[in-house]
Amino acid sequence: MAIESVVIDRDSRKASISWPQGNPQYNVRFIVTSTEVLDGVESLGYPVDPNTGTRVPEPGDSFENIGNDTNRNMVAKSISVSQISGTVWAYDVTYAPLQLGLDGGTTNQPGETQPKTKDGDTPKDWTEVGPDINVQMVQRSRPAEKGAYIGKQKFLLEPFKLLFFNHISKLHFKLGWDPQNFAEPVQGGGLTTELANGQPIVNSAHKAFDPPVEVDYTRMLLTVTRFHQDFPTNLLIFQDCVNKSPFRFNINGFQMAVPAFSVKVQGITGSAQWQNKRRFWRVDYVCEVDLYRGWRIDILDRGKTQLVRNNQTGFYEDQLILDDKGHPINEPALLNGEGTPARESATQSNPNGAYLRYAVYPERDFKPLRFDDPNP
């Protein structure tokens, strides 16, 4: 295979501009002649004229020396090849603004698809572009673990009587906790579900509902996009991890402080991009922010057995929990967090029931992820 010539077809050049973005697009045809009729696209590659040096650009190459025209903010975005005759081929090249892999993404003003530097200028190189962020809301549901007991709603047996809501009755006249006026959040900026007056959600016999009550709520889905020279494989250890300390998102004008254990990295993905034959990576960090419950779980402590100390051996042994008639209970009873039935230790100041809190995802310091750094 040998290239005989590469010339620009001066009669087929086109240009267009889109509205309202104002992004131009250039179309240039290169006529390539080879010496072998059997040459195909794979053999030809990106040809260079052996005499004049005119060359067919590769994707990502700048719009340079096309006649008298040069615009280094325009790059080759697509190349279409067709055979005109046995050894003559047409390479149709489309040039468009340098978008650094952020195709279709709005970064500064409505209608703009071109990323900007921190100063609002059009970047000449990917290293000048800071991170971007996309904010979405997603609906989730989960079992309601805690709640503020408000009162009882009873049916009256008298004719023509309506339902009434009794804010005075305790959940159980001896063992229950007092009714509350509203669900009171914990002061200090913690997770919204950390209720100061929250208690286990149980029936009036102090048994958990089965199936549990479900609640729906909203999580934030944040996608932080940043450019890297190479794919940051060293940061993959953060995938499926939760922040162990508070921090602040500070990306492209989006600022939000988040408490510990509320942000989970759902995925780190990337794609290779090219600019002037230089490869770089667009990397997306997908985070799900749960300000309602966080990413630790609370499990209602209950069971059919209890721990009882053997006075002879000094060891604690499993024993069945018995009802008032001495029979093993049929349903799990609330435990007090120490292996014994909650009803036996209930007081006015120490209501029945306890939760066991578990961290099920690795918890790390998110500082290496630079979510608080708006710089490139």
**Cα–Cα distance between 184 and 193 in angstroms, integer?**
9
The two beta strands, 242-243 and 363-364, are: parallel
Predicted model pTM: 0.63
Residue bearing the bigger pLDDT, 286 or 120 = 286
Q: Which residues, at least 6 apart from 160, have a Cβ–Cβ distance to it below 8 Å?
A: none
**Cα–Cα distance between 193 and 359 in angstroms, integer?**
16
DSSP string, 265-303: EEEEEEEEEEETTEEEEEEEEEEEE-TTT-SEEEEE-EE
pLDDT single digits (tens) 71-100: 877 888 899 999 999 899 999 999 987 665
Residue 257 has pLDDT above 90, yes or no: yes
> What pairs with residue 153 in β-bridges?
165
Q: What's residue 193's pLDDT?
A: 57
Nearest to 191 by CA among 261, 277, 284, 278: 261
pLDDT single digits (tens) 155-191: 555 555 555 555 556 666 555 667 788 888 776 555 6
Cα 234 from chain centroid (whole Å)? 19
Mean pLDDT on 121-147? 82
Residue 62 parent element (H or E): strand 62-66
Residue 44 parent element (H or E): helix 41-44
- 318: alpha, beta or left? (left if phi > 0; alpha if psi -120 to 50): beta
The phi and psi torsions of 327 (rounded to 5 degrees) equal: -100, 145
Cβ proximity of 76 and 59 under 8 Å: yes
Residue 22 has pLDDT above 90, yes or no: no
Nearest to 31 by CA among 96, 95, 94, 83: 83
Residue bearing the bigger pLDDT, 346 or 83 = 83
Residue 71 parent element (H or E): strand 69-83
Residue bearing the bigger pLDDT, 69 or 81 = 81
Q: What's residue 164's pLDDT?
A: 53
The phi and psi torsions of 123 (rounded to 5 degrees) equal: -75, 145
Residue 258 has pLDDT above 60, yes or no: yes
Q: What's residue 278's pLDDT?
A: 82
**Cα–Cα distance between 139 and 266 in angstroms, integer?**
16
